[in-house]
Amino acid sequence: MPEVRDISFTVGQGMTLGIVGESGAGKTTVAMAVAGLLEESATITGRVIFNDIDLLALDEKAMCGVRGSGIGMIFQDPRASLDPSMSVLDQVAEPLRLHLGLNQIEGRKQALQLLKDVSINQDILSVAPYAHMLSGGLCQRVMIATALACHPQVLIADEPTSSLDLTLQAQIIGLIKQRQKATGLGVMFITHDLALITKIADEILVMYQGRAVERGRVENIISNPDHPYTAELVSILEDSGLSRGGGNAAA
């Protein structure tokens, strides 16, 4: 993963921070650092504060307790993140059992509803009960259902809609916004797509070559970009005819 330096940001309750940048800019590295999932050889200096606790000071057992119940994560490669030997239903139910103490029957019942929320019904599960039988887009939906299962306080969404069609993208974004309104969910939404960010984010953090080169309210960044890379992204956005508040929510 690329080296990342001088990154500082806050994700408040009910807020969406859009992290945008080209491939290799360090977006996923930041996400993995927050979730405590970097390789053991990685060196991290600074602090990651969640509920007044520095996550960097926790051991792996304590971090496992935070992940899932406090911090949910949608990974960039969902197929690689799902267990091919465990049924989809049980994979979504597992965090409900581990973190909320539900029994198998209740866990599966709630998991089935979570899957329905992302348009995976019983008919699909009957034909393809395991993740390796699903398409990449369906695997992404399973990951989203799993990430939201325990009603986390923060959701780290790393390219969560990249393998979904426009209709389903809009549905998933709507689901995330619904959770935000109901529970105050804070979201780190990571993508290379500035047009998408402008539709869902409150603030933008622009990354370039491992550094945060610009951060601010969406309107301010779009109307007055400071860094040349940001200005280039905004120029492409304007050329495409897309702007905040117009077009499809998943444009």
Q: Is the pLDDT of residue 249 over 60?
A: no
| High-pLDDT (> 70) share of the chain, % | 96
Q: What is the CATH number that goes with domain 1-70+153-251?
A: 3.40.50.300
Q: Which residue has the higher pLDDT, 129 or 248?
A: 129
23-51 residue pLDDT tens: 899 999 999 999 999 888 888 889 999 99
Residue 95 has pLDDT above 60, yes or no: yes
Domain residues of the chain, as ranges? 1-70+153-251, 82-149
**For the segment 139-198, what is each residue's pLDDT rounded down to a tens digit?**
989 999 999 999 999 999 998 887 788 888 888 888 889 889 989 999 999 998 898 899
Q: Nearest-CA neighbor of 69 among 173, 170, 148, 159?
A: 148
pLDDT in the model for residue 245: 42
Tokens of 105: 């029957």
Whether residue 204 contacts residue 189, with contact meaning beta carbons closer than 8 Å, is answered with: no
Residues in contact with 39: Cβ distance below 8 Å, sequence separation at least 6, in sequence order: 1
Using the predicted structure, report yes or no on whether residue 248 has a pLDDT greater than 80. no
